[in-house]
Structures are given as C-alpha cells and as structure tokens.
Structure 1
Amino acid sequence: MTKIEFFRYLGISLSLIGVPLGMYFNYLFPFIKWSPIFMFLSIILIVSYENLFFGKLPSYNKWFTLVIAFQLLMLFYGLFSDRFTSQLLSFHVYIISLTFALASNQKDIPYEKIILFTFFISALCTCLGAYFIWKGLVTGQDAWQLRQDQEDYALEAFTISNGAIVNFSSAVCLRFKNRFLKILLWVVLVLDIYVLFMSTKRTPVLVAILVVILYLYRTGSVNKFLVLKYFKILVLMFIVFIVAYMNVEALQTTIDKFIYESYSGVLNILGNTDISDTTGSAISRYRSREWTYNYIENNFSFFNYIFGAGYMTRWIDNPLLQSYLDMGIFGLFFYILLIFVFPIKSYLKVNTIVVLFAILLCVYNFMSSISSGNPYAYIKHVPIVFLAFVLNLQKKTTKKSFSKN
C-alpha cells in the first residue's frame, strides 16, 4: 500500500463515518466543531490533485451526474427559501465536492481496503458509544436532564446507532486470519449489537437484521454444510440467550421494551393512535404525515403539485414524503431513483465485496425514508456517492467474486 493509497482510503472512510466520529469529538473536545473538519479533511485526502489539475475524471459515471443534478435541484430551491441555512448549504456543497473528488481517482486501485479502514475507525465509535450508553449519557433520565441543561449537548442516539451500523456493515464483510483480529471482530460485533439495542431506536436494529440477510443471501453463505457445522454453536447461543433473558432483569427489560416499542411504532405508522411508544416518536411522525396530507390537499395549487411548496416547508421526519412536499415530482423522482432504485438495481448485479459493502451502507437510508431525517442531510447521500464510485470499479478490479480482505 502506497502513502497516497493510505490517505485515500482514510479520506473515504472519514466520509462514511465522519458524522458519528464528529459527534464524539464534539463531546470529548468541545472547543471546536469537528464534523465540518472531518468533512473538509475527507475531501482533501480523497481528491487526486494531478487528475483534477489536468481536468481528468477517470471514475466519473452517469450516477454521479444524477447525484449532482439532485444536489443542484435542492440548491436551487434553497436559494428562494428563508429556511436555507449555511449548514444546509455546506451539505450540498460537500456532496458535490465528494462526487468530483471520488471521480478524480483511478479505477484500478484495490479499494477493498476501504472496508478495513472503515471498520477500525468505526470500531472506535462503537466502543465510545457502548461506554457512553453504559454510563447513562445517551438514554435515560440522566441523559434527558443533560439535554435540558446543555442546549448543544453532543451525544445523540440516532447518530450513535448510525456509527454502529457502519461498523456492523464493515464487520460482516471482513474475514481475518489472525486470531487476535478475529476475536477483536467478534467483540466489536457484540458491542454493535449492544449499542443498537440500548440506543432505544427501532430502525437501526431492523437495519442490522436486514444487513445480515442481504449479505448472507448475496454471498451464498447460508448452506446446509455451514448450518450443520455451526448448529451446536447456534443452539448453545440460543440457550444462553434464553437463560440470560430469564435471569437478567436488565436484559429482559430491554428486550421487552424493544418489542413493545416496535409493536406500538408499527401500529402508529399504520394510523392507530390508541397506543403509543414511550417516546411518542412514531405517533408524532404519523401526525406529521397527516399534517402533510392536509397541507397538500388544502394549500397546493396545480403549480405546487408539480414543483412542491419550497425548501424545508416543514421537518416531518419523512424524507420520502418531504421530497415531494418541498420539491414536487422532480424531488420525488430523484429521491426514489437514488435512494431506492439505484441500490436495489446494484444489489441484483453485485459481484465484488466492496460493492456489496457500499450497498449495505445504503440500507439505513432506505429503511429510514419514512421514519427519520430529511432529504437534504448529506448523510443521506454519502453512501449513494460511494456506491456510484465503487460500482464503476468492477471493470478494472479482480473478477474473483466477493474476495475477502
């Protein structure tokens, strides 16, 4: 590995895990805002200055064009809105910059090492997340009080769980021969599961389950031989889990709460308001969705049905619906095409581990399209840009299917 490749892998990894990493740095070293630094640093490390100087973009492809078009569309809407902030502007500028930075790189470098880099950096996030959750600084009464006392309190459950998902996705794509690294991998995976459950968020747990299913199905890792080989281990793990569930009150409470929250959340999303989860988040999203439908019905003209109501009309925690509310059929078209169609289409044709890894990173945004965030956040688009980049590498990378690191 050359020095240039090392920094390039590091830069791409920072683009994938920079948000959770920035959050932890904001908490530990609060004298400066770290997320913009990691964003800027990732671009500096990724870009090929030689190719950019000569106007060459070896890895540019049609998906990059669609990503940039969507960002320009959102920028255009933002220019005519009083809700368009400098932070939101930086999100769009970053995605466009990341697109050109990745496009400036050659196609024939073994980018599979990105998975390894991402794993080690995100493992730090997982360990910090597990520690802060264990200390009661993320969920619970103490965390709630800290948020009341500190307006800019850094630790946030969704961002912590997002870091764990990135680590989890990279971990399932890795195979280590070194015994110490194997143990490290399993320890971090256990911590990922701990973080995902204890963060009290439903979507990340479902995402992790789907990540495993998609990985196993695409790699053909589920077969009769392996099931028989590991049957005893699986049975033992199941028995240990049942015994722990029946005897460890904290675990029983966590599992029961997660099941109740998931059940209540699904009912709320379907429109049942007679029951609610303890946070009220699902029913809040249902009411936001109903507000949106009423707003469209009562305030939309023919022009609005086509072009939308404008940038960030209201934060409704439903990026898919908000893309139409704000930007009409054009916003909805780009969102569906990039967040849904592109990863699904890529999954059906994937034949390298780095492409599969990129697709697994897209699952979170796929699953949270009706439950969290908005269509403008750069975290929604980074996995798509990364997927567009690595998908274009298949012609130059080794044809050995799903070669492990």
Structure 2
Amino acid sequence: MARATAIDLRSDLCTVPTAEMWDAMRAAELGLAAFGEDASVNELCGRVAELLGKPAALWVPTCGMANLVALLTFCEPGDAVVLESSSHVLTSEAMGIVEIAGLEPRSLWAADGRIAPDAVDELVAESRAPLLVLENTHTRAGGTVLSVEQVAALADAANRHDCRVHVDGARLVNASVALGVPLAALAQRANSVALSLNKGLSAPLGTVLAGSEAVVARAHVMLRRLGGATVHRAGIAAAAGLVALDTMIDRIGDDHRRARELAARLASVPGLRLDPEVVETNIVLVDVAATGLPPEELLGLLEQVGVRAMERDASRIRFVTHRLIGDDDVEEAARVVADVVERHSVPPFELPEVEGLAELEEAEPEEPEHEERGAG
C-alpha cells in the first residue's frame, strides 16, 4: 500500500521554501532589477560574490541559463569547449551549447567526473578551446567533488593555452561542505562560477553568476539576449535566496550523512550493486541490473508503494537526499526498496540440467573407423 505522502528522492529540487523564506518574499521591497534598483537582488549578488571571492555577480533565473550565459560570454560561434562527456551542460541542458551558443563540445570521459589535467592540456591545445567547463559536484557521476587542488591543476592545464574556466556550481555548496573548505577556495581559479540557490539550499529559484567586473558586464549583455535580465519582481526570489545563505548551508552535511546511510542500507539488498564508500555528497547511484528489472519498471513499482527515485541510465537509478528527507525516511525508503526488489526481481535464467550430459561431456571421443581402399 502506498504512503499518504511519498518519500521523494528524485532530486534536491524537490525542496520547498521554508517559512522564513516565505516571510522574506512577502516582505521584500521590490525594484527594477534590470536597472540595478532591487535591494534584495543587489544584496544577494554582493553576498554571493563575496562568498565566491569574486568582484561582481549577476542574478540569473536558472543554473542552466547561467551556464549558457557563461558559454556566450567567453566564446564565439564555432569555438570549441572542453568538458567532461557526461557533464550537465552537455547531457541535460537541451544542447544549448550547440543549438543556441553554436559551439563545438570537445569532451573527455571520466567515470568519476574528474577529468585528467594532462588530457585537458592536450585537448585544449589541439582544439584551441577558449573555455573549459567544470562541474562541481558532478551530478551524473554521483555527486563527486573536485578538490581545490584538482581545480587548480585543471585550471593550470587550461591557462597554459589561454583557456578560461567556468564552474557549473549547481551543487558547489555540497562540495564545499563535503571538503570542509570555503566556497571561495573552490572558485578561486575559475573565471566564472554559477552558484545555484534552489537545490539543497531550498530557495524557490535563482542562480548567481560571479566573476570579474568585465566578465559580469559582458554576461549581463548575454543574459539580456536570452531574455533573463528582465525578470520583473526578481527581488521576491532574491529575498528567499538571502535567507537560504543564512540558514541552509550549515545543514547540508545532514544530507550527506543520510545519503551515506541510505547507501549502506541499500548495499545489503541482494540484487543491488553499489559501494557506499564512493558516496561523497547527497547523491546515491544504484546499479539494478542484477534484479532483472529495467530501471523504469523498478521505479514504477517503487512509486506504487510511496518511494520516488529517478532513472540514471539503462542499469542505474538515482536517490538524492535533501532537507525534506529525515532519518526515518531513509530507513523507510531502504526497507521499501528491499521489499520491492525481493518480491519482484527476476531470477537469472538457467539452462535445465540434462541427465547424463556431464558424463557425455567427460567421455573421451572414439577414434573414427577408416575403411581401407585400394589404389584407384
């Protein structure tokens, strides 16, 4: 029987604003953000710029749009862009990099999302790419983080060829908390950083794109071309974003702890394959191939009994912890998954035993008889 309220582990986008955020949104004094007249937008951009150690910042409605603005800011149509082959910009943002920006993606594969600096050096030199895009944390790799040292090594590889660096920081706060380092340390070597406010931070919408004053000035032009600079009443969302910065960062570690707990429980379920030790933040990837159930079918069965997750690929499903998932939810979700897998998994196909087959296979073959023939 399904729960009255589902345990929704599809994404940290399932979070909703807190009561304090709603109060701030109702109380926000609004102005024309496009003309720099909205106090909440101005304060939010200043706060995020300071957190990221950048001189300036720009409010953008979504992180996908912020990434596209960065591509347009640093590149001209026909330019190459180097990025990891399963990065969000390349796989989940409707190919805006090609269809809108007119750029040529040059990708490098890394199972954990951490591309090698040597490979970046070689590909940037070969393609003459003006931009390297990094994703921190890396969504499709399971929320893996890039350390300060790794970002620096990748930036060095790019900068040797006059290539800039943009960081898709949709979950950069998760990386900061997981590593125990300031956001500014992770952003230091980047020319631009997109910081999302509406995932683990629970704001209703909004991303801040930060960089130098020159970068942000050009980014503002590109944002206007995309129609994102004229979001009237942007201060409503910005007011919630300010509350998110004040109240949500310190609790992100709870999401990581719960993700590890969920991973540990699921790892003991026969038919599910995952290593809890590789869970670094709030995303848990589970290989379900051994259950004999396609991810889509398994997800449907789980939803019927009150647990929602997301298909990652042909053999894996994804669980994401967030503010609305508590310890009891983790325990219950793991129990439900185990029960569904036990009841519905398809046993591996085995050939029936044939009596005497083993003896027949072990018997030595007889020498064939040859009939003697006379000379012809």
Same fold (TM over 0.5): no
Identify, as 1 or 2, the structure richer in strand: 2
Question: TM-score interval w.r.t. the shorter chain?
Answer: under 0.3
User: TM-score, normalised on structure 1?
Assistant: 0.23
Identify, as 1 or 2, the structure richer in helix: 1
